[in-house]
Every structure is written in structure tokens, then in C-alpha cells.
Structure 1
Amino acid sequence: MPGRPDLATCHGFDLTGAPVTVHGTGVLARCLQHECDHLDGMLYLDRLPAAAREAVLAEFRERQEAAAQP
């Protein structure tokens, strides 16, 4: 899976409706992109290759079933 770009710019509005622009590099750029993904309804799992996504979901289901057993 390719990495995220090291630069990100987000545009939005503050509580008063004034426009705000945030520029980020490095970890902040990744955080901004991650949060924008959530606003678009995307999760980390959605970016994984199909085989990796299925492996993670299978492990999750196994853990859920194990936790549900008395």
C-alpha cells in the first residue's frame, strides 16, 4: 500500500463561520488526511488490500466469538 503524501492542506470554517486553512507536514499531514477520510466515511480497513482486509476481519470475528463464550 503506498504511503500518504507528506504534505496536506485542509480548508474549513471555525465556530463563527470564518474560513480556516490548516497546512500540515509529516505526522500532522497524515493526521489531517486520516480525519478527512473519516469525514468521507472511510476507515483504515477500507484502504487495505482485499486479502489483508479479510485477514483482519476474520481475526476480529474470532475474537468476538471467543469473548462471547462464557
Structure 2
Amino acid sequence: MLKQIVFIISIFLILIIFLRVPQESVGLSSFATKSDLLGSPSSAQRSLNIITGIAILIYFAIAIKLNSNL
């Protein structure tokens, strides 16, 4: 069960990192600012930082739990 949760969190982290808006004004950032895909860039960046941090902490907690059972 925990291995499945770790797999889902891993995929989630990969996807959320791809959603991050680049700092430069090229590529995805110009798309995100024109389409308001994630809301305002500053609030979207803050939300993604919080979600990423929480997901990483959950991932580490489960990884430690799985390693202690070996």
C-alpha cells in the first residue's frame, strides 16, 4: 500500500515540477501569463512551492517508513 502511495507521489512531483513557470520571459512563462492558466504568476508559484514542499515531506516520511521495515 505504501509503495503505491510513493509511486503516486513520485508521479505527482514530476508533473508539478513540469508545471512550474520558468523565471525567464520565454517559453512557458509567456504562455502562462497570456492564458492565466494557473492564475497570477506569483500566486501560482507560491502555491506550487507549498504543494511541492508538502509532497516532498510526505515522500520522505513514507520512504523512511519503508526503509525501516527492511
TM-score band, normalised by the shorter chain?
0.3 to 0.5
Higher strand proportion: 1
Structure with more contact order per residue of length (Cα contacts < 8 Å, sep ≥ 6): 2
User: TM-score, structure 2 length as denominator?
Assistant: 0.33
Q: Normalized per residue, which structure has more helix?
A: 2
Q: Could you say which structure has the larger radius of gyration?
A: 1
